[in-house]
Structure 1
């Protein structure tokens, strides 16, 4: 299944670069869930009350469509890196507008490099969920197709299942902290996490990732 994802991404990218606009739309759609997942990890609760990950990603995809002629890469991995750059810039603008605007006297500046590095770490944690113990998460994070398939599988989970996995694995919180965030007992969160992981594994197996 993952090899199909890779070949399809290559086909759509080549067609888009040859001027087939419908293929560009299909290509961008392949990255929707992945970008939403990354954006969500960068928006704290205060920012989520003012904007949503979906809105940020929608703006990112619209910009990518508009500026596709500026993309100079030749493979899906480079295209994804380009999309992450656009997403990083949009997240930086949101932080400037909603957070730093309240502290203009301090004159703090948003570091896009810091946001980009955080996104890269989130990507590594995302793929590390499915990494075998003998695999290197840093090497596995370079697996373009596994990242997309995992993001799609997570998007299919019920909200509470997806939340507990994101808090535990993407944000790296301990179970007591996850429980506090989800306003549940630690025991209830552990049980929820076990069910969520089992559901995620089923979906990944159906995609040929595991």
Structure 2
């Protein structure tokens, strides 16, 4: 998978050039840059919102808050590469997720042991990225190299968004949230055996979409 393109389908230097242009006064391009990573943020947010939070806010709300904060505070971003930008966006997402949990879940609980740690939230997000990257393993890369390639996770998020909703959801539940097939069956209102078969078809389709993307065709 070393030939997988970045989330934009453009070379890394295109992202760097866009960042430079924005810093040079092309602020109107900032929305375009951030929009590239909406699918990536959406997948991460989906894996982190538990049942308690979903009753109070949606994934789209969390992603929108993250995008707005990134747009407002872009002057604080000191990086130049796509990898640095992804790390910055993850930090913003984990910050908003942490505060959402404190505000909506633990607001009436004073027990300090239940306070949300940004480090713990960030660790869960990193685990989700690793899970996403491992869906399409690179036989030429070590596990640590796979995890460190954040750009790959962004690209896979875009490919995941191309799947039909049932395929997208079952992959998120199984591979990113670690749900059992019984749990998936309850979430999707199907039988456990059907959940397993749906997941197998979804993974096969996901790999097909990624292979087509790498070869330059259209799914």
**After TM superposition, is the score higher than 0.5?**
yes
Equivalent in 2, 5, 20 of residue 2 of structure 1 = 5
Distance change (3 Å), C-alpha of 1:133 and 1:178: farther
Which 5+ residue runs of structure 1 have no aligned equivalent? none
Separation of aligned partners in 2, 1:137 and 1:193: 23
Q: Does 1:31 align with 2:34?
A: no
Q: Does 1:112 align with 2:118?
A: yes
Contact 1:60 1:86 (C-alpha < 8 Å) held by counterparts: yes
Output the aligned Cα RMSD: 2.0
1:50 Cα deviation (Å)?
A: 1.3
What is the match of residue 152 of structure 1? Answer: 158
1:198 Cα deviation (Å)?
A: 2.2
Contact 1:60 1:90 (C-alpha < 8 Å) held by counterparts: yes
Q: Identify the structure with the greater helix proportion.
A: 1
Separation of aligned partners in 1, 2:192 and 2:144: 30
Q: Does 1:103 align with 2:109?
A: yes
Which secondary structure state, in structure 2, belongs to the residue aligned with residue 101 of structure 1? coil
Separation of aligned partners in 2, 1:145 and 1:172: 22
Q: Does 1:90 align with 2:121?
A: no
What is the match of residue 181 of structure 2? Answer: 175
Equivalent in 147, 155, 161 of residue 141 of structure 1 = 147
1:55 Cα deviation (Å)?
A: 1.0
Contact 1:34 1:147 (C-alpha < 8 Å) held by counterparts: yes
Which secondary structure state, in structure 2, belongs to the residue aligned with residue 191 of structure 1? helix
TM-score, length-normalised on structure 2? 0.87
Distance change (3 Å), C-alpha of 1:144 and 1:15: farther
Which secondary structure state, in structure 2, belongs to the residue aligned with residue 2 of structure 1? coil
Distance change (3 Å), C-alpha of 1:159 and 1:185: same
What is the match of residue 78 of structure 2? Answer: 72
Which 5+ residue runs of structure 2 have no aligned equivalent? none
What is the match of residue 200 of structure 1? Answer: 206
Separation of aligned partners in 1, 2:90 and 2:177: 18
Q: Does 1:125 align with 2:131?
A: yes
Count of equivalent residues? 209
Q: Comparing 198-207 with 163-172, which one deviates more in the overlay? A: 198-207
Separation of aligned partners in 1, 2:139 and 2:188: 28
Q: What do the CA deviations read for 1:25-67 (whole angstroms, capped 9, x no partner)?
A: 1110111110111011110122112111111111111111111
